[in-house]
Amino acid sequence: MLKGVSDNFGAFLVSLLSVQTVASALAVDLNQTVDESNSTEENALVARTSDRYTIIHKWGADNAATIGAGATVGIMLTGFTALFTNWYSNTPDAEKICGKSQVTDVTDDDGVEYTYYAYSYTTGSNCDSTQRAKTVTNKLSDAFDELHADGSSAVCLDLDHRGTWHGVIGLATKGSGKDPQTVCDGHHAGAKRDEFLQIKAAPAPALITGSTPKRDASGLVKRTSISVSESNLQKGDVFFSDPNQSQAVIAEIASAMYKQSKANSCAGVEGTHVDNQGVSYTYYYYASGRNCDTTAEIKTMVTALDDAWDGLGGYTALCMTMRHGGGTWRGHLGISAQQGTFRATHMC
C-alpha cells in the first residue's frame, strides 16, 4: 500500500514538473514574442520619424516679436516645403548648393512680420531626398513650436533626413535686428563638414528673455486628422506622378486651402503647378460648411493630401472631398493632370 502511494506521489511530481516546464517554456516564448513585437514597432517608428532639425543659432526676442508656434505660421511652412522639394531635381553647384530663395517678407496668422532666406545643400553628389512634404512640414512645425516656447526672435535652422540632403532656413522677426541672409554665416562652408560635426553644431548663443507674451499652444482638436474620400476618378493619356515627384505641388495646394480657411472664404480658387516629372496639374478648390473654415493646421492638410496622392498613379483626374473631425467644414478639391479633357472645375 505504501509503495502504491509512493508511486502515485512520484507520478504526481513528474506531472507537476512537466507542467512547470511547459509553463516556463511558454513564458519564454511569450516574452520573446513581445520583445520581437516591440522591436518591430520601434523600428517602424524610427522609419516614420527620421527627419530632424538642428538649431544652429538662435536669438532672444528682447524688444522684438517672438517667432510664432507651428500652428500660426502655416504659409511659411508650406513655402519652405515647396522650395525644398522643388530643388530635389536640381544638380548641385560647385559649392554643393541645390537652390536658393530670395529674401522674402511674410506675415503669420497673428500679424507677426518676418523676413526669411532659405537654401538647400548636399554632402553627396545629388540634391534628391526621400523626404515627403508631410514629414518636412511636420518637423518644421515642431521646430517652430520649440522656438516659440524659447522666446526666440531669429534663428538659423538646419533640416535633414539623416542622409546627404540639408535644408537651411535663416529667419528673423521684424525688429529683431537680424539679417536672414547672415544669421547662417559660416554654417554651410561648402558642405565639407561630416555628419557628426553637422549635428553637433556649436552651442547657440544664450537667449535674452523678451517681454512679448507667448501665444497659446495648439489645442487637441487641431491634431485631428483630415479624412479624404475620392470620387469621379478618370483615366486619360497623362497620369499622376509618383507622390515623391509631386511634393511641391502638394505643398502649394495645401497652402491655397489654408489661406481660404483663414480668410473664412467659401469662394473657389484655381491654380496650376508642374511637378518634378514635368506633369502639369490644374486644381480647383472650394470649401463648404459654417464659415468655410477649419481648425486643421497646415501640417494636417499636407499630410492628408500627401497620403491621398499614394495610389493615384493610374489616374488622370478626380475629386477629393475632405472633412476634419466632427466639424461642418468640407474641402472640395478637383484636380486634373489633363485639363483639356478633364476640367478641374467640373470634377467635384
Q: Which has more pLDDT, 144 or 199?
A: 144
The β-bridge relationship of strands 226-234 and 317-324 is antiparallel
Q: How does pLDDT run across 48-80, given as a tens digit for each residue? A: 446 899 999 999 877 789 999 999 999 999 999
* Backbone angles phi and psi of 300, in degrees to 5: -70, -40
Q: Which residues of 274-303 are buried (b: 16+ CB within 10 A; e: fewer)?
A: ebbeebebbbbbbbeeeebbbbbbbbbbbb
pLDDT at 37: 32
Number of residues that this document lists for the chain: 348
pLDDT at 221: 37
* Backbone angles phi and psi of 164, in degrees to 5: -90, -15
Under 8 Å between Cβ of 63 and 175: yes
| Phi-psi group of 334: left, alpha or beta (phi > 0 → left; psi -120 to 50 → alpha; rest → beta) | beta
All structural domains of the chain with their residue ranges:
51-199, 220-346
* pLDDT exceeds cutoff 60 at 325: yes
Q: Which has more pLDDT, 209 or 243?
A: 243
Q: How does pLDDT run across 174-183, given as a tens digit for each residue? A: 989 999 999 9
191-194 contacts at long range (C-beta below 8 A, 24 or more positions apart): 191/95, 191/96, 191/121, 191/122, 191/123, 191/166, 192/123, 193/123, 194/123
pLDDT at 186: 80
Q: Mean pLDDT across the stretch 267-293?
A: 95
| Percentage above 70 pLDDT, the chain | 76
DSSP readout, 234-247? E--SS-PPPGGG-H
pLDDT at 329: 95
Q: Mean pLDDT across the stretch 254-267?
A: 95
Cell (9 digits) for 326: 466632427
Q: What predicted TM-score, i.e. pTM, was given to this entire model?
A: 0.73
Q: 190 falls in which pLDDT band (50, 70, 90)?
A: low
* pLDDT exceeds cutoff 90 at 236: yes
* pLDDT exceeds cutoff 70 at 205: no
Q: Return d(Cα 69, Cα 62) in angstroms, integer.
A: 18
Q: Which has more pLDDT, 236 or 219?
A: 236
pLDDT at 188: 77
Q: Which has more pLDDT, 219 or 111?
A: 111
What is the identity of the amino acid at 303? T
Q: 237 falls in which pLDDT band (50, 70, 90)?
A: very high
Q: Which has more pLDDT, 231 or 42?
A: 231
